[in-house]
Amino acid sequence: MIITIDKGNSFVKLAVFEEVELVEKVIFTQDEVEKKILKIFEKYPKLTHAVYSSVGKMTTELEKIIENNVQLIKIDTSFAFPFVNLYETPHTLGVDRMVLASGASLMFPQKKCLIVDVGTCVTYDFISENNEYWGGAISPGIRLRYEALHNFTAKLPLLTKKQPDDFIGKNTNEAIHVGVIHGLILEIDGFISKYSVNNQDLTVILTGGDANFLANQLKSTIFADENFLLKSLQQLHSYSSQND
């Protein structure tokens, strides 16, 4: 058994795998991670490895806790990823985007894939049928859009995520929800449409914390899996073990 750990900008996500089956998933805040992960080790004594990726740096204490229980595998930019990286500045490419591209490469071999990760930021990553990573785009996620409207204006309120009832906002709060939610939906559909022009049979993977919230509202045909990054880490571990 292994655990995969994704330490993002807002939350830590952890999944327990028995072979390729996802047995349990938990989400917790950065402050809870050390206490919560100890409970996972107690609950699953057969765990042997922890596969970890992060947009930030792991604390020394967390690293010690993991290494006292299982073998720790850190996924960083020096890892042997299963694709050809054509990004012009590979040293600036986030490890989370590289993990997602790896998952697409391993789970959808010889397919043109666009991975859309809707979290704190929205990232778009394209990998070709020849297993080449070309790049993509980065834009603000849902929470950042709400916060930007509040923080950089004098009077607009800070709202929380809500599905608009209509496409026309009839008051300020409704107008904000329409702008944020429908604005992002149109953005994602627009990107998919643009990529599809030159890439027939494009496989679109929607993932991230807001994937389920947005999935049914997109007009494009997509493969939606909010756990795709955690599963990609499991796939990377399996790939690495087979290619040592």
Is pLDDT at 128 greater than 90 in this prediction? yes
Q: How many CB atoms lie within 10 A of CB 202?
A: 18
To the query of whether residue 125 is one of the catalytic residues in this protein, the response is: no
pLDDT digits (tens, 9 = 90+) for 47-66: 999 998 876 666 778 888 89
Catalytic residue among 96, 117, 210, 225: 96
Q: In this predicted structure, which of 100-104, 190-194, 197-201 has the lowest mean pLDDT?
A: 197-201
Bridge-based pairing of strands 203-207 and 113-118 is parallel
pLDDT tens, position by position, 214-233? 998 998 778 999 999 999 99
pLDDT at residue 35 in the model: 85
- Closest Cα to residue 96, out of 224, 207, 17? 207
Task: Please report the domains of the chain, with CATH numbers, ordered by start residue.
Answer: 2-74 (3.30.420.40), 107-233 (3.30.420.40)
pLDDT of residue 76: 85
